Amino acid sequence: MVRDRDARPREHAPQTLVSGPERGPAHARHGSLGALTVAALGIVFGGIGTSPLYALDLLFRGHAVGPLPAATVLGGLSLVFWTLSLIVAVKYAIFVLRADNDGEGGIFALYGLLHEYRNRGIMLFLWALMLGAGLLFGDGIITPAISVLSALEGIGVDAPGLERLVVPVTAALLTLLFAVQAKGTSGIGRVFGPILVCWFLVIAALGIRQIAEHPGILAAFNPMHGLRFLWHSGLHGSLLLLGALMLVVAGGEALYADMGHFGPRPIRLGWFAVVYPALVLNYLGQGAFLLGGHTPAGGKLFFSLVPHGLLYPMVALSTVAAVIACQSLISGTFSLASQATALGLFPRLGTRHTHDSHAGQVYVPFVNWALYVGSLVLVLTFRSSSALGSAYGLAVSGVMVITSFAMIPVARLRWNWGRASTLGLWGSLTLVNGSFFAASSLKVLDGGFVPLSLGVIVFLVMVTWRWGRKATFAAYSAKETMTVAELVSLHRDAKHFMERTAVLMAPKPLRRDTDRTPALLQLLWDRYGILPRNLIFVEVIHRKVPYIHENRYAVVVFDRHRDRGSIISVELSFGFMEEPNVERALEGMARHHEIDLPTDRRQWIIHVSNENLLPSRGMNIVARLRYRLFQHLRRVSQPAYYAYGLGDEVQLSAEVVPVRVR
């Protein structure tokens, strides 16, 4: 560890300082268990909480118009109850929430948990998670469209003539919703929880009212009714039923995705104490309505449960609940894009932070308007929630089967489960979710192609970006440059220096005298033939963990002298949930005299490189197509130095370095 700043180290003997204050997660959870639970109700459960608006309409679509047979109603409701129980209550609430990555959850948390085992034959699981992330982007387009449409369709129950207003009003609401995203949602987010509490209480009350009139619906708890219903429906009919059942659990993946905001305890409490019973009661109430021989008014089963005088207030409450569900998913998609960028899987899109103290609250303009255009096109094309149901089910089932699949190595490698218990639970759940996905795939031509196509496109973008970054790094690092020892020798023999302290961004850490210096330094030396008095190499590393709690940085001193200056290497580490502001980190280190850098940023100059990529002459057609796609992605991607907060207050010097990739 370096103590004496004026001492001259032994010839070519670098000295190392590894330090960094311990940090907690940027999302530190504040409040009592009750307050966190109410907040979780507004953020986590909006999607699955509004599924009663449309799920049973699609489940029983295709059956005879008019009163349904009791066996059909009991069978359908039995399938609903056990699907909700097995997939959400057991799989997500009990088991998947245990797979936290430093308190974070979601697709990329799983990716981070498994990435350290990438050399042990699990690349297939990592690729599957990347595809699952793509499907979540598709989900982000469909959810706003189907949620708002299904809520407003309640108008047609009382006034069929007003149905023509559903599509234009939905389009207007979506336009307003996406337009306000740039303002941030921390203010209105405080009321989400109480509104959703009201929503769940109301839908539970609607269900209890119907169950009291037709208590025979309670027989649906018997799973044999569901199994008999599937058996008598035949293979094709059973697949259609399984595809429709995915709408019942749509939004269930949010329990895991939003775990980092609230922790598992508030989410489990909110689910088992409020959401799960409310959903079960409402679904049973809808079944009781059908069991009584009634026909849904206007084809909307949910709104048929509402007393006539309360219909319009219920439409208003449903619309607000649907907008909250959309808001939660949109914010989640912004976070997903930000995490993918930090993991090196996605281009660096322009990102704005909408809250000073919460790093996770971000706004990504490109993603926002892409979601808006996609949602609007779906509304104008499909024009009803029932028509959109097929597309929605495929996205949800795809994400869920990938999550179950990825939990197999998590259980084996992270939890040390035995093979029998791992395959018994996660193998079975993968098969169950796989059957739902296969069933949903029957509707590819009816709309399922939308999330599937988006998922594949986003997957190709991530794979290409990952390949391109690695190829660029390899080509840049392969350039012939001087070693650190040669640089130190030049620095010690120099008679003249550039006085402004130079910070030079490096592609990899410099730890030993034999390490090669960056090609950017060689270019500057060949061009000017003079070195800075104080030269600091900075390399940024993105760890596959959400947060860095300790050892934020490592400092290696290669040369330091009172008169001659210094050559220092700094390695900065950031997690994928953190904002990598390099200027701020260096300023903090300078303030604590850990590097030879003035605290006034105006006395620095930062040197960065812009790689001019050139294809190798031996590229085949497929490789050239991949290369061209990567070039297009680089054009829309924000330069790394801007993403690192460089150039905000410090003079920035960018040099073009030709790089030939293979």
472: its two tokens: 């660029």
Closest to 340 in 3D by CA, of 572, 109, 639, 646: 109
Domain boundary among 438, 465, 492: 465
Higher-scoring residue by pLDDT: 21, 97: 97
Q: Is residue 319 part of a domain?
A: yes
Question: Which residues sit opposite 483 in a β-bridge?
Answer: 516
Average pLDDT score over residue span 642-652: 79
Q: Do residues 504 and 587 share a domain?
A: yes
pLDDT of residue 622: 85
* Three-class secondary structure of residue 63 per DSSP: coil
Distance CA 105, CA 113 (A): 10
Q: Is residue 28 part of a domain?
A: no
Written as one string, the DSSP assignment of 99-163 is --BTTB-SHHHHHHHHHTTGGGS-HHHHHHHHHHHHHHHHHHHHHHHHHHHHHHTTHHHH-GGGG
pLDDT of residue 313: 92
Q: What number of residues does the chain have?
A: 662
Cα diameter, the chain: 97
Distance CA 119, CA 525 (A): 39
Kindly state the percentage of the chain with pLDDT values over 70. 92
What's the sign of the alpha-carbon dihedral 47, 241, 384, 210?
Answer: negative
Write out pLDDT tens, residues 531-566: 988 899 999 988 888 888 888 888 999 988 888 888
- β-pair type (651-661, 501-505): unpaired
Average pLDDT score over residue span 399-415: 92
Average pLDDT, the chain: 84
Task: Give the H/E segment covering residue 505.
Answer: strand 501-505
Residue 407 has pLDDT above 90, yes or no: yes
pLDDT of residue 426: 94
pLDDT of residue 7: 36
Q: Which residues contact 159 (CB under 8 A, 6 or more apart)?
A: none
Q: Do residues 436 and 486 share a domain?
A: no
Half-sphere exposure of 288 (CA within 13 A, CB side): 22
The least confident of 70-74, 181-185, 295-299 is 181-185
Q: What Cα–Cα distance (Å) separates residue 318 from each residue in 37, 195, 230?
A: 21, 10, 31
Q: Is residue 624 part of a domain?
A: yes
Q: Do residues 435 and 511 share a domain?
A: no
pLDDT of residue 357: 47
Distance CA 55, CA 78 (A): 14
Q: Do residues 450 and 507 share a domain?
A: no
Calculated CA dihedral for residues 366, 324, 271, 405, nearest 10 degrees: -20
**Phi/psi of residue 64, each to 5°?**
-60, 140
Q: Is residue 9 part of a domain?
A: no
Q: Do residues 285 and 382 share a domain?
A: yes
279: its two tokens: 């959903």
pLDDT of residue 221: 96
Letter for the amino acid at 354? T
Distance CA 208, CA 581 (A): 54
Distance CA 267, CA 470 (A): 38
Q: Is residue 323 part of a domain?
A: yes
What is the DSSP-derived secondary structure letter of residue 453? Answer: H
Q: Do residues 416 and 565 share a domain?
A: no
Question: Which residues sit opposite 363 in a β-bridge?
Answer: 352
Q: Do residues 411 and 532 share a domain?
A: no
Residue 613: give the domain boundaries.
Answer: 15-23+478-661
Higher-scoring residue by pLDDT: 658, 205: 205
Average pLDDT score over residue span 191-202: 90
The three-state DSSP-derived secondary structure of 161-226 is HHHHHHHHHHHHHHHHHHHCHHHCCHHHHHHHHHHHHHHHHHHHHHHHHHHHHCHHHHHHHCHHHH
- β-pair type (604-615, 651-661): parallel
Q: Is residue 472 part of a domain?
A: no
Average pLDDT score over residue span 397-422: 92
Higher-scoring residue by pLDDT: 358, 594: 594
Residue 440 has pLDDT above 80, yes or no: yes
Closest to 358 in 3D by CA, of 344, 375, 338, 343: 338
Q: Tell me which residue has tokens 């030396």.
A: 525
437: its two tokens: 């996905």
Q: Do residues 248 and 311 share a domain?
A: yes
Q: Do residues 486 and 363 share a domain?
A: no
- When pLDDT is cut at 50, 70 and 90, the band that residue 75 belongs to is very high
- 60 with 290: CB under 8 angstroms? yes
Distance CA 203, CA 199 (A): 6
pLDDT of residue 4: 35
Residue 425 has pLDDT above 90, yes or no: yes
* Three-class secondary structure of residue 494 per DSSP: coil
378: its two tokens: 């779906």
Q: Which residues of 513-599 form beta strands (DSSP E)?
A: 531-532, 534-542, 553-561, 565-574
215: its two tokens: 């208590």
- Name the percent of the chain in helix, strand, coil, to the closest 5: 65, 10, 25
- Structural domain count of the chain: 2
- When pLDDT is cut at 50, 70 and 90, the band that residue 308 belongs to is confident
Q: Do residues 99 and 119 share a domain?
A: yes
263: its two tokens: 């922790």
Domain boundary among 440, 465, 490: 465
Written as one string, the DSSP assignment of 617-652 is TT--HHHHHHHHHHHHHHHHSPPHHHHTTTTSSSEE
Write out pLDDT tens, residues 224-247: 999 999 998 888 888 888 888 988
Closest to 228 in 3D by CA, of 338, 90, 78: 78
Closest to 394 in 3D by CA, of 456, 335, 340: 456
Write out pLDDT tens, residues 347-400: 888 777 665 444 456 788 888 999 999 999 989 988 888 778 767 778 888 899
Distance CA 161, CA 163 (A): 6
Residue 317 has pLDDT above 60, yes or no: yes
pLDDT of residue 188: 57
Distance CA 451, CA 59 (A): 20
Distance CA 83, CA 246 (A): 8
Q: Which residues contact 149 (CB under 8 A, 6 or more apart)?
A: 166, 167, 170, 379, 383, 384, 385, 388
Closest to 43 in 3D by CA, of 358, 482, 316: 358
Residue 449 has pLDDT above 80, yes or no: yes
* Three-class secondary structure of residue 500 per DSSP: coil
Q: Do residues 616 and 499 share a domain?
A: yes
CA angle 316, 319, 321 (to 5 degrees): 110
Residue 461 has pLDDT above 80, yes or no: yes
CA-derived radius of gyration, the chain:
29
Q: Is 288 exposed, middle or buried (0-12, 13-18, 19+ CB in 10 A)?
A: buried
Q: Do residues 483 and 443 share a domain?
A: no
- When pLDDT is cut at 50, 70 and 90, the band that residue 34 belongs to is confident
pLDDT of residue 28: 47
pLDDT of residue 393: 76
Q: Is residue 471 part of a domain?
A: no
pLDDT of residue 596: 80
Distance CA 203, CA 217 (A): 17
pLDDT of residue 32: 78
Q: Which residues contact 227 (CB under 8 A, 6 or more apart)?
A: none
pLDDT of residue 3: 34
Write out pLDDT tens, residues 92-151: 999 999 988 888 888 888 998 888 888 777 888 989 999 998 888 888 888 888 888 888
CATH of the domain at 265: 1.20.1740.10
Domain boundary among 434, 465, 496: 465
- 225 with 78: CB under 8 angstroms? yes
116: its two tokens: 């350290």
Q: Is residue 4 part of a domain?
A: no
What's the sign of the alpha-carbon dihedral 420, 426, 432, 434?
Answer: negative
